[in-house]
Chain A
Amino acid sequence: MDREHIRNFSIIAHIDHGKSTLADRILELTDTVAKRDMQDQILDSLELERERGITIKLNVVQLKYKAKNGEEYIFHLIDTPGHVDFTYEVSRSLAACDGAILVVDASQGIEAQTLANTYLALDNDLEIMPVINKIDLPSADIDRTKNEIEEIIGLDCSEAPCISAKTGQNVEDVLEGIVRFLPAPKGDIDEPLKALVFDSYYDSYRGVVVFICVKDGEVKVGDRIRFMQADSEYEVTELGVKTPYESKREKLSAGEVGYLCASIKSIQDINIGDTITSVKEPCKQALPGYRKMNPMVYCGMYPTDNNKYNDLRDALEKLSLNDSSLTYEAESSKALGFGFRLGFLGLLHMEVVQERLEREYGLNLIATAPSVIYKVTMTDGSVIYIDNPSMMPEATLVDFIEEPYVKASIMVPNEYIGPVMQLSQDKRGIYKDMVYIDDNRNQLIYEMPLSEIIFEYFDKLKSVSRGYASLDYEIIGYRPGNLVKMDILINGEIVDALSIIVHRDFAYKRGQAITVKLKELLPKQQFEIPIQAAIGNKVIARTNIKSLRKDVLAKCYGGDISRKKKLLEKQKEGKKRMKAIGSVEIPQEAFMAVLSLDDE
């Protein structure tokens, strides 16, 4: 197939604006998937994606479309996640594309993340075709939505398809639009091979499977290829495209998107963003690759069973191949033993990783509360970065602490401006600007510490706006803050995994909330146990877990011995699953208690 008849594109949309549904319809209309094999969200292959109704991993599928001009086209649809945490995944998929479809919900209008992802696409020089979706809803307002897109993003909407992905209405217009408005790939088949590695995963039979987008030249089974950045060579053993099932090919040419196997055993050998070229006739310059996204949020993850440490390490190794924005390094905690410090792009990313580790790798994990990276200037002038609150040096050695700030952009309907502003102020937000989008909606701009967004801003934002506000943020640098390390003491002992960094003004309230929450979560012990929150040596909140008063089986005669013993054995097992801090057993949930949401 010549390049002129290929289109490589992504679909950009805010969560729930109908991206996956549109992808499903496109697959049906192009007969890519037989009706009987069709299931909702077919591109979302992770179990977790389907359950949560979100896209986490990018996925690629090849479709054939016979256009109204009578010619046949090959489309490569590269799916992208919509959530702010997965910006890195989005930029990876966009680099493999030449165009993008921007899906906007006609009843909701443009949202914060739509904007962020659209700007990403524009940064990648992609052609963007707007699509107005959900026109079947009674609350749909097509003109207003078109107006918003033209006003805010500056895209012409005069020929934008207006569709209902749900009912299938006008979806054909989208396919025609792809042919008419989106460009064909630019590469040259006569140039030496140049292909972008944009994703990979590990397959126990074939080794590492690499997803590539061929920019120039072509690659054939049996070719010797070189990964330019990794400086390693392999022989291609298998090539293919996803339809969405794997379909083998003898070669992939400029403009095509597919997968490649080359008996690559080690996952460390593959860098996402690397360029593949031919050993025989190498290209002169590698593709620019990706800007590495730095993790924003860190937390400790520990196997509940200390013997599973190696299993966790193996799982992280495999998972990070598939999720290159995840970082990890070994750490140990007095309370939790040996584990890893993991870095994530955001909270959703963290949750997704924990769930994938538990589900796909069968691990039982304890996660500590997430933390941002603090920049600490010591009294001797040296600077250190702290991503684990328990590592914060003693206050007397610290000159000042800085924390990451973000520029938060919140889109909100008029009636919720008050509560959203109040919330943002409560979370140490600094008001910067308010932009009128239309009669009913505004964009608020705040500068705010990232740690506040992590703690509860997003959840609260949704609740004060009844779900109507949307949020996007970008890091804008470090700023000093009046920050202190707060320790939690259980029975007089500091539990390192429970320490947090908190703004001094909020310390009392947080300390109170955490101790009360822990009191609910910790099982009663044989003696009264104090739970304290302390800054340095100063206790700022205290509560007691009452002592256990009665736990015994009332009746125990000859016939009850077996049963009674089984009961005790069960109790003992339960105890083993908790982490013992001194003489106190701490259940898993307690380690997340420092995130306590109900501190009001």
Chain B
Amino acid sequence: MNEVKHLYVHVPFCRSICFYCDFCHRIYDQELAQKWLHRLRKEMEDALRPGYETIYIGGGTPTALGYGELKTLLQLLKPYSAQVCEYTIEANPESLDEDKTALMKEFGINRVSLGVQSTDEEILRSLNRKHDFLLIQEKIALLRKYGLDNISVDLMYSLPGQTMEKLQKSLDDILSLDVPHISIYSLTIEENSVFGRKGIRSLDDETEADMYELIERVLCGNGYRHYEISNYCKDDRYSRHNMAYWNYEDFIGISLAAASKVGNRRYTNTRSFERYFSSNDIREEDLCLDKKEQMFEHIMMSLRTDIGLDIKDFENQYGCKIKEEYPQGVDNPHIVIEKGRMYCKDPAILNTVLLDFME
């Protein structure tokens, strides 16, 4: 019996580097990928138990792997996926082909998250993305041909050069795909990304807020549910795996840079290939969280979603009264308590609201 229900696998390879990204990745190299798979097998043996309900293969770019390596990865995961109800893989349009799609289907993958970011060619080039909208349409048709219709599309906004009109056009294009899930993130300039090193600035706060509101208006107007700050879904096809993070459930992450939370422990693997390959101790950070920290993190994560926090569960879990513990927090005018749940009315300013839950 496995206590932890959620598994994340990080694939640290890409075929090219997107300018906004500072995730842990290297340009794909067959020899390195083989070596990585070899080491991953060992980590799985050490860290995993069977019986996960959700598995999420992210990256990097999982489809950057060659067919053979992808097959090995899925075979390695097979013993752990018997009870899986949501099995997601991230894919890039240019490296997703029919063989890999068939392979995904064969191994029980039932959800694909496709990196699209924008449908405007100029913007895509400025991000160093290699696809166009036509390719997106083709790849979505391909996925559907194999019965993989639980598709999520990743988009970005507040991008350099993006106007409200360009954003509206991208949204219209995406709506035409009629996918059940859309994740849409505002650009954060990461210090270690190409953008960060070039000193590129994101758009001003007011424009970003305008865009956030436009997205909500357009997507909700077309039948999507805004269920998390950056996530929209239709027909209840929200991401079960990600929802586990936001409900502050336990999860295990394997491979480089992956994080795990098991009870009061949270640990993160090294970002260094060298250390990952050569050492048995691959944890870069290994924290023991006290109750206060867990409580705050739990609130911090759950207020991101439209279902918020189940107050009774929370109080039972930590043995406290939420109103006594966070008088200033529950008093914040953006916080609503209704039918036994606590929500943030305006999650766009959640950071500021959360400060009232801190000491």
Interface of A with B (CB < 8 Å)? 524, 526-527, 548-559, 561-562, 564-565, 567-569, 571-572, 575
Contacts and interface: CB of A to CB of B under 8 A. Distances in A.
Contacts of B245: 556-558, 561
B298 to A, nearest CB: 10
Interface string B298-319: 0011001000000000000000
B268 A559 contact: yes
B349 A554 contact: no
Contact of A571 (B185, B208, B230, B355): B355
A562 B301 CA distance: 11
Given A526-B349, A557-B245, A558-B259, A550 B268 contact: no
Contacts of B332: 526
Given A556-B301, A561-B300, 13 more contacts: A526-B353, A549-B213, A551-B349, A555-B230, A556-B245, A558-B8, A558-B245, A558-B253, A559-B8, A561-B259, A562-B285, A568-B355, A571-B355
Nearest to B246: A556
A569 B357 CA distance: 11
B131 interface: no
Nearest to B24: A559
Contacts, number: 94
B349 A548 contact: yes
Nearest to A547: B349
A16 B166 CA distance: 58
Interface in B329-352: 332-334, 347-352
Contact of A550 (B257, B287, B349, B354): B349
Contacts of A524: 205
Nearest to B358: A572
B358 A569 contact: yes
B296 interface: yes
A559 B230 CA distance: 16
Given A558-B251, A561-B301, A549 B205 contact: yes
Contacts of B8: 558-559
Contact of A562 (B186, B251, B268): B268
A554 B230 contact: yes
Contacts of A557: 242, 245
27 contacts: A526-B352, A548-B349, A549-B212, A550-B208, A550-B349, A551-B350, A552-B229, A552-B350, A553-B351, A555-B185, A555-B188, A556-B229, A556-B246, A558-B253, A559-B268, A561-B245, A561-B300, A561-B301, A562-B259, A562-B266, A567-B351, A568-B354, A568-B355, A568-B358, A569-B358, A571-B351, A572-B358
Contacts of B205: 524, 549-550
Interface of B: 8, 185-186, 188, 205-206, 208-209, 212-213, 229-230, 242, 245-246, 251, 253, 257-261, 266, 268, 285, 287, 296-297, 300-301, 304, 332-334, 347-355, 358
B28 to A, nearest CB: 21
B297 A551 contact: no
Q: Closest 5 A-B residue pairs measured CB to CB?
A: A549-B209, A559-B259, A554-B185, A550-B209, A550-B348
B148 to A, nearest CB: 22
Given A568-B300, A569-B358, A526 B334 contact: yes
B206 A549 contact: yes
A561 B266 contact: yes
Contact of B348 (A551, A561, A567): A551
A99 B344 CA distance: 76
B348 A552 contact: yes
B212 A550 contact: yes
A70 B5 CA distance: 100
Contacts of A558: 8, 245, 251, 253, 259-261
B358 A551 contact: no
A565 B300 contact: yes
Contacts of B253: 558-559
Nearest to A526: B352
A565 B285 CA distance: 15
A559 B301 contact: no
Contacts of A526: 332-334, 349, 352-353
Contact of B351 (A549, A551, A559, A561): A551
A565 B297 contact: yes
Contacts of B350: 551-552
Contacts of A569: 358
B86 to A, nearest CB: 15
Given A526-B353, A548-B349, A548-B352, A554 B242 contact: no
Contacts of B334: 526
Nearest to A552: B350
Nearest to B259: A559
B348 A549 contact: yes
Contacts of B208: 550
Given A551-B348, A568-B355, A572-B355, A561 B258 contact: no
Nearest to B183: A555
Nearest to B239: A557
Contacts of B186: 550, 554
Specify which of A552, A553, A565, A575 lies most central, judged by the most chain B CB atoms within 10 Å of its CB: A552
A569 B332 CA distance: 18
B209 A561 contact: no
A565 B287 CA distance: 13
A572 B212 CA distance: 24
Contacts of A575: 355
B159 to A, nearest CB: 12
A558 B257 CA distance: 11
A558 B56 CA distance: 11
Specify which of A550, A556, A561, A562 lies most central, judged by the most chain B CB atoms within 10 Å of its CB: A550
B24 to A, nearest CB: 9
Contacts of A559: 8, 253, 257-259, 268
B258 to A, nearest CB: 7
Nearest to A554: B185
A567 B355 CA distance: 11
A435 to B, nearest CB: 55
A139 B304 CA distance: 70
A374 B72 CA distance: 85
A572 B259 CA distance: 25
A564 B300 contact: yes
Nearest to A567: B351
Nearest to B261: A558
Specify which of A558, A561, A564 lies most central, judged by the most chain B CB atoms within 10 Å of its CB: A558
A558 B333 CA distance: 28
B348 A527 contact: no
Contacts of A551: 348-352
A554 B188 contact: yes
B188 A552 contact: no
Contacts of B259: 558-559, 561-562
A526 B331 CA distance: 13
Specify which of A569, A572, A575 lies most central, judged by the most chain B CB atoms within 10 Å of its CB: A572
A565 B334 CA distance: 20
A346 B184 CA distance: 57
A564 B248 CA distance: 14
A572 B301 CA distance: 17
A557 B296 CA distance: 16
A559 B257 CA distance: 8
B300 A553 contact: no
